[in-house]
Amino acid sequence: MAVVTNTSDNTKFTDEAEIRSCLSSFNIDYERWTPAHPLAEDASAEEVLHAYSKEIDALKSRGGYVTADVIDVNPATPGLEAMLSKFASEHWHDEDEVRFVIAGRGIFHIHGEAGVVAIEVGPGDLIRVPKGTMHWFNLCDDRRIRAIRLFQDVSGWTPHYSDSKVDQGYQPVCLGQSYYQT
Site for Fe ion, rule CB under 5 A: 97
Residue 182: its H or E element: none
Q: What Cα–Cα distance (Å) separates residue 31 from each residue in 6, 65, 76?
A: 18, 17, 30
Smallest separation (angstroms) from Fe ion to the CB of 78: 21
Least Cβ distance, residue 160 to Fe ion (angstroms): 10
Fill in the amino acid letter for 44: S
Residue number with CB closer to Fe ion (43 or 118): 118
- Tell me whether residue 97 or residue 125 sits nearer to Fe ion (CB atom): 97
Nearer to Fe ion, 13 or 92 (CB): 92
Task: Determine the Cα–Cα distance for residues 89 and 164; give it in Å rounded to an integer.
Answer: 9
Q: Which is nearer to Fe ion, 97 or 120 (CB)?
A: 97
CA distance 45 to 9: 40
CB of 137 to Fe ion, least distance (A): 6
CB of residue 123 to Fe ion, shortest distance in Å: 20
* Cβ proximity of 175 and 117 under 8 Å: no
The DSSP symbol for 94 reads S
- DSSP character for 34? -
